[in-house]
Amino acid sequence: MKYQDLLQQISRKNIAPLYFFYGEEEFLKKEALQALYQELVTADQKDFNYALLYGKETSAGEILDQAQSLPFMSERRLVVVQEIEKLGDKAKLLSYFEQPNPTTCLVLVAGEVDSRSRKSEFYTALKDVEVIFWPLFKSDLKKWVEHRFRSQQKTIEAEAMDYLIEAVGPDLANLDSEISKLAIALPEKKRISAADVRKNIFRMYAENAERLEHSVLSRNLDRALLALQDLSAESGGEMQALWIISKSWRKLIVAKEMQSRQASLEEILKKLNIRKYDEKDELKASLPKFTLAELVNKHKKIADTDKAIKSSSQNPLWALEHLLIDLCG
């Protein structure tokens, strides 16, 4: 099931005894775990009815002991095992999966699992209780933003939401942080407008993001590196910068492909939703600087940089600087 289906189950108090959380969107996993915790565990019962274990530091025997323990003055217990992929004796849990304890909600949370391991007996046995946490599509992302504002007893106008997502990017942790800042800055405001967003939080952040995008579109390396430095000073700025670079590069690919089909500049601008005069001029001036083959070939370097940042100890800023040199140099 999707995480949205899980949240509906929790709201209806229809909570299963076993879940397997899998996927790369860590913020949604934390959100789902928090919802389960709020539903199943009270503060005065935490020591008795909640257990948090880690696969690398525990054993299947300890997990079974926790899962089979009876709740104290409550109907259910919550047992969460993070990094289940690092558990050494997984096979010992297989028999439990067939008949899990109905008074325990056991949640097994995986980090990165390679495709070969995913086909093993252990993960196959969890297929029916798997909850997938992938990054949200744009329509789902907007629903998520609306929900976060409702949790702050506020609503947000459509234009304001578009601006918010464009300025901050799709990272949920960053979006959640900025929504919280808005709620603090505007305690009496019930409906958030685009002007509220621009005025209260995002001026410098959005300016840096815009500078970076324009610099990539115009292939201005010096300005791009300066914008990257300023943006990286923000919390989560490196991943935001990578998203902006990727978005800008996709715009160039679309524009160049349309140009190869003899599309007019007006058609290209309309397709990319580019309305500002300076952006129009930048795109018009930059298109002759690239070939379509070059744009497509270098797009792979963006994906390689994303993978390198997420899977190694490489300095994100250093990796992004080298990416910009490759793209714009």
Q: Which residue has the tokens 């257990």?
A: 51
Question: CB under 8 Å, gap of 24 or more: what pairs does 63-66 form?
Answer: 63/87, 63/93, 63/106, 64/92, 64/93, 64/96, 66/104
Provide, rounded to the nearest whole percent, the portion of the chain with pLDDT above 90: 38
pLDDT at position 233: 67
- Do 281 and 174 lie in one domain? The reply is yes
- Do 207 and 323 lie in one domain? The reply is yes
Instruction: Please give the Cα distance from 242 to 106 (Å, whole number).
Output: 36
The pair of three-digit structure tokens given for residue 89, joined into one six-digit string: 């004796």
Instruction: Please give the Cα distance from 191 to 182 (Å, whole number).
Output: 11
**With bands split at pLDDT 50, 70 and 90, how would you rate the model's confidence at 22?**
very high
Please state the rounded mean pLDDT for residues 231-241: 74
**How many other C-beta atoms can be found within 10 angstroms of the C-beta atom of residue 164?**
25
| Contact by Cβ (8 Å): 113, 24 | no
- Name the domain count of the chain: 2
Please state the rounded mean pLDDT for residues 283-301: 84
The pair of three-digit structure tokens given for residue 208, joined into one six-digit string: 């840096």
Q: Which residue has the tokens 């590069």?
A: 249
Does the pLDDT at position 309 exceed 90?
no
Q: What is residue 142's three-state secondary structure?
A: helix
- Do 122 and 161 lie in one domain? The reply is no
Return all residues near 198 (Cβ < 8 A) that are at least 6 apart: 163, 206
Instruction: Please give the Cα distance from 64 to 101 (Å, whole number).
Output: 10
The count of C-alpha atoms lying within 13 angstroms of the C-alpha of 237, restricted to the half-sphere facing its C-beta, is: 19
pLDDT at position 276: 64
| Contact by Cβ (8 Å): 20, 96 | no
**With bands split at pLDDT 50, 70 and 90, how would you rate the model's confidence at 161?**
very high
User: Can you give the CATH number for the domain in which 320 is found?
Assistant: 1.20.272.10
Angle at 183 between CA 181 and CA 189, to 5 degrees: 140
| Contact by Cβ (8 Å): 309, 316 | yes
- Do 310 and 166 lie in one domain? The reply is yes
Does the pLDDT at position 234 exceed 70?
no
pLDDT at position 83: 93
- Do 80 and 153 lie in one domain? The reply is no
| Contact by Cβ (8 Å): 178, 249 | no
86-95, 132-141, 190-199, 212-221: least confident range: 212-221
Give the domain-ending residue among 93, 113, 132: 132
pTM (2 decimals)?
Answer: 0.60
- Do 173 and 120 lie in one domain? The reply is no
Q: Which of 42-51, 82-91, 221-230 reaches the highest mean pLDDT? A: 82-91
Cβ burial of 321 (10 Å; 0-12, 13-18, 19+) is: middle
- Do 151 and 216 lie in one domain? The reply is yes
User: Can you give the CATH number for the domain in which 67 is found?
Assistant: 3.40.50.300
**Range of 90's domain?**
3-132
- Do 126 and 143 lie in one domain? The reply is no
**With bands split at pLDDT 50, 70 and 90, how would you rate the model's confidence at 101?**
very high
- Do 169 and 303 lie in one domain? The reply is yes
Averaged pLDDT of the chain: 87
Give the domain-ending residue among 99, 132, 165: 132
pLDDT at position 84: 94
**With bands split at pLDDT 50, 70 and 90, how would you rate the model's confidence at 31?**
very high
pLDDT at position 307: 83
pLDDT at position 111: 85
- Do 77 and 171 lie in one domain? The reply is no
Q: What is the pLDDT of residues 107-137, one digit of tens each?
A: 999 988 887 888 899 999 999 999 999 888 8
14-18, 90-94, 109-113: least confident range: 109-113
- Do 167 and 313 lie in one domain? The reply is yes
- Residue 58 vs residue 231, higher pLDDT: 58
Q: What is the pLDDT of residues 202-228, one digit of tens each?
A: 555 667 777 888 888 888 888 888 888
| Contact by Cβ (8 Å): 133, 21 | yes
Identify the H or E element spanning 71: none
Angle at 320 between CA 316 and CA 321, to 5 degrees: 120
Give the domain-ending residue among 102, 132, 162: 132
2 phi and psi, to 5 degrees? -85, 165
- Do 295 and 248 lie in one domain? The reply is yes
**With bands split at pLDDT 50, 70 and 90, how would you rate the model's confidence at 316?**
confident
Ranges of H-type helices in 41-189: 46-49, 60-68, 94-98, 115-118, 121-125, 138-151, 158-168, 172-185
Does the pLDDT at position 61 exceed 90?
yes
